[in-house]
Chains A and B, each alone.
Chain A
Amino acid sequence: MHRYILKRLLMLIPVLLCVAFVIFAFMDMASGDPVYSVAGPDATPEELAQLREEMGLNGSLLERYARYIWDLLHGDLGVSYVSKRDVMATYMERLPNTLKLASVTMVVAVGISVPLGIVAAVNHNSLKDTISMILALVGLSMPNFWLGLLLIILFSLKLGWFPSGGNTGFSSIVLPAFSIGVGLAALMARTTRSSMLDVIRQDYIRMARAKGVPERKVIRKHALKNALIPIITIFGVQFSNVLGGSVLAETVFAWPGVGRLVVDAIDQRDIPTVTGALVMTTLLVSIVNLLVDIIYAYVDPRIKGQYIK
Chain B
Amino acid sequence: MKKKQRKSQQYKKRSMLAMMLRQLRKNKGAILGLILVVIIIALALLAPVLYDYDTVVIAQNLKERLQAPSAAHWFGTDDMGRDILARVVYGARYSLAVGLIAVLIALLVGVTLGATAGYVGGPMEEVIMRICDIFSSIPSVLMAIAVVSALGKSTVNLMIAVGIASTAPFIRVARAAVLTVRGEEYVESARAIGMREWQIVLGHILPNCISQIIVQATLRVGSAIISAAQLSFLGLGVPAPAPEWGSMLSSGRSYIRDYSYMTLFPGLAIMITVLSLNMIGDGLRDALDPKLKR
Among B234, B256, B275, contact of A141 (Cβ-Cβ < 8 Å): B275
CB pair A124 B294 closer than 8 Å: yes
Given A26-B150, A141-B275, A262 and B137 contact (CB-CB distance below 8 Å)? no
Q: Which residues of A contact B142 (CB under 8 A)?
A: 244-245, 247, 262, 278, 281-282
Given A27-B150, A141-B271, A153 and B260 contact (CB-CB distance below 8 Å)? yes
Stretch at the interface among A15-23, A57-65, A169-177, A220-228: A15-23
- Per-residue contact bits, chain A 177-199, to B (CB 8 Å; 1 contact, 0 not): 00000000000000000100100
CB pair B236 A146 closer than 8 Å: no
- In the complex, 9 of the A-B residue pairs with CB atoms within 8 angstroms, ordered by the A residue number, are A137-B279, A138-B271, A138-B275, A143-B230, A146-B271, A244-B142, A247-B234, A266-B145, A266-B236
Closest to A25 in B: B150
B window 122-173: CB within 8 A of A: 130, 133-135, 137-142, 145-147, 149-151
Given contacts A143-B274, A157-B257, A285-B137, 18 further A-B contacts (CB under 8 A): A15-B134, A16-B137, A19-B134, A22-B135, A26-B147, A27-B149, A27-B150, A30-B146, A142-B267, A145-B233, A152-B256, A244-B138, A245-B141, A247-B141, A248-B141, A267-B235, A278-B138, A289-B137
Q: Which residues of A contact B140 (CB under 8 A)?
A: 244-245
CB pair B230 A145 closer than 8 Å: yes
CB pair B137 A29 closer than 8 Å: no
Question: Is B78 on the interface with A (CB-CB < 8 A)?
Answer: no
Closest to B235 in A: A267
CB pair B145 A262 closer than 8 Å: yes
* Top 10 A-B pairs, shortest CB-CB distance: A244-B139, A146-B267, A141-B275, A26-B150, A29-B150, A141-B274, A30-B149, A30-B150, A26-B146, A18-B134
CB pair A149 B263 closer than 8 Å: yes
Please give the distance in Å from A117's CB to the nearest CB on chain B. 13
A window 17-67: CB within 8 A of B: 18-19, 22-23, 26-27, 29-30
Q: Which residues of B contact A145 (CB under 8 A)?
A: 230, 233, 249
Question: Is A294 on the interface with B (CB-CB < 8 A)?
Answer: no
Closest to A266 in B: B149
Among B133, B150, B233, B267, contact of A248 (Cβ-Cβ < 8 Å): B233
Query: In the complex, what distance in Å separates the CA atom of A140 from the CA atom of B223?
Result: 9
B window 200-251: CB within 8 A of A: 222, 226, 229-230, 233-236, 249
Number of chain B interface residues as a range: 35 or more
Query: In the complex, what distance in Å separates the CA atom of A295 from the CA atom of B148?
Result: 36
Please give the distance in Å from A60's CB to the nearest CB on chain B. 18
Question: Is A95 on the interface with B (CB-CB < 8 A)?
Answer: no
Given A15-B130, A262-B145, A267-B235, A245 and B278 contact (CB-CB distance below 8 Å)? no
Query: In the complex, what distance in Å separates the CA atom of A278 from the CA atom of B149?
Result: 12
- Per-residue contact bits, chain A 230-269, to B (CB 8 Å; 1 contact, 0 not): 0000000000110111011001100000000011001100
- Per-residue contact bits, chain A 280-292, to B (CB 8 Å; 1 contact, 0 not): 0110011001000
Q: Which residues of B contact A240 (CB under 8 A)?
A: 139
Given A137-B282, A138-B271, A143-B229, A150 and B134 contact (CB-CB distance below 8 Å)? no
Among A14, A146, A248, contact of B234 (Cβ-Cβ < 8 Å): A248
Please give the distance in Å from A195's CB to the nearest CB on chain B. 11
Closest to B269 in A: A146
Q: Which residues of A contact B22 (CB under 8 A)?
A: none
Query: In the complex, what distance in Å separates the CA atom of A140 from the CA atom of B133?
Result: 25
Given A146-B249, A252-B253, A141 and B278 contact (CB-CB distance below 8 Å)? yes
Q: Which residues of A contact B229 (CB under 8 A)?
A: 143
Describe A's contact surface by its main secondary structure. helix
CB pair B137 A282 closer than 8 Å: yes
Query: In the complex, what distance in Å separates the CA atom of A117 from the CA atom of B264?
Result: 29
Please give the distance in Å from A243's CB to the nearest CB on chain B. 8
Query: In the complex, what distance in Å separates the CA atom of A19 from the CA atom of B135?
Result: 7
Query: In the complex, what distance in Å separates the CA atom of A16 from the CA atom of B137?
Result: 8
Question: Is B270 on the interface with A (CB-CB < 8 A)?
Answer: yes
Given A26-B146, A146-B263, A282 and B139 contact (CB-CB distance below 8 Å)? yes
Closest to A286 in B: B137
Question: Is A274 on the interface with B (CB-CB < 8 A)?
Answer: yes
Closest to A284 in B: B139
B window 27-80: CB within 8 A of A: none
Q: Which residues of A contact B271 (CB under 8 A)?
A: 138, 141-143, 146
Please give the distance in Å from B197's CB to the nearest CB on chain A. 29
CB pair A143 B270 closer than 8 Å: yes
Closest to A142 in B: B271
Query: In the complex, what distance in Å separates the CA atom of A42 from the CA atom of B146?
Result: 31
Q: Which residues of B contact A282 (CB under 8 A)?
A: 137-139, 142
Query: In the complex, what distance in Å separates the CA atom of A251 from the CA atom of B226?
Result: 16
Given A140-B278, A146-B267, A278 and B146 contact (CB-CB distance below 8 Å)? yes
Q: Which residues of A contact B249 (CB under 8 A)?
A: 145-146, 149
Query: In the complex, what distance in Å separates the CA atom of A244 from the CA atom of B151?
Result: 21
Given A27-B146, A141-B271, A146-B267, A241 and B139 contact (CB-CB distance below 8 Å)? yes
Query: In the complex, what distance in Å separates the CA atom of A250 from the CA atom of B146?
Result: 18
Closest to B236 in A: A266
Q: Which residues of B contact A281 (CB under 8 A)?
A: 139, 142
CB pair A274 B149 closer than 8 Å: yes
Given A149-B263, A248-B230, A251-B234, A29 and B151 contact (CB-CB distance below 8 Å)? yes
CB pair B275 A137 closer than 8 Å: yes
Q: Which residues of B contact A244 (CB under 8 A)?
A: 138-142
CB pair A19 B267 closer than 8 Å: no
